[in-house]
Amino acid sequence: MALAFLAAKRSKDPSTQVGACIVDKNNKVVGLGYNGFPIGCSDEEFPWRKGGKTDLDSKYMYVCHAEMNAILNKITADVTGCTMFVALFPCAECAKIIIQSRISTVVYMSDKHASKNETIASKRMLDAAGIKYRRHIPREKKIVIDFDDVDWSGMSQVPQSPVKN
């Protein structure tokens, strides 16, 4: 989930940055994505403002969601049986792509649009397709990357990364 949030930091959306990270059955990262405009659609030319969902001058007509980008950016032939970690519960359009790509589990952080039809429809499809979903309960409250903490000559981190007991 932390990697999904790190990917989200690359989003140029001024109001909502969403990231998604796909891992395989061995927890290997096989795809990362964040919300952004399609290749060739410049952030300077296309609108980041909110508006009606079908308004030509709003971002909703153009933005690719983090989930879709993570799937399209996959480094494996397919993502069958994989788990997607995503900051925000997938909308109905992303649910369709998740189902068709045969991802088996979705782990999300926020479900703030739970009462909206796009989320209700999403859950209806995920349930029908037998895709499991659950909210992420973070074990760590904070993950800090402080470049000043890195000993560049020895390339070691001070304090060192915690090791599993």
Ligand X SMILES: Nc1ccn([C@H]2C[C@H](O)[C@@H](COP(=O)(O)O)O2)c(=O)n1
Token pair of 104, please? 């088996």
Q: Any contact of residue 21 with ligand X (CB under 6 A)?
A: no
In 3D space, the residue among 99, 78, 82 whose CA is nearest the CA of residue 90 turns out to be 99
Choice among 44, 45, 67, 140 that is catalytic: 67
98 binds ligand X (CB under 6 A): no
In the DSSP assignment, the letter for residue 38 is P
Instruction: Determine whether the annotation assigns residue 91 to a binding site.
Output: yes
Q: Does 32 bind ligand X (CB under 6 A)?
A: no
Contact (Cβ atoms closer than 8 angstroms) between residue 106 and residue 133: yes
**Contact status: 88 vs ligand X (CB under 6 A):** yes
Asked whether residue 21 is marked as a ligand-binding residue, the answer is: no
7, 94, 95, 109: residue in contact with ligand X (rule CB under 6 A) = 94
Q: Does 66 bind ligand X (CB under 6 A)?
A: yes
67 in active site: yes
Using an 8 Å Cβ cutoff, are 100 and 72 in contact? no
CA dist 122 to 33, 91, 98, 148, 155, Å?
19, 6, 10, 43, 45
Enumerate binding residues for ligand X (CB under 6 A).
13, 15-16, 18, 35, 50, 59, 63, 65-67, 88, 90-91, 94
Annotated binding site for Zn(2+): 65, 91, 94
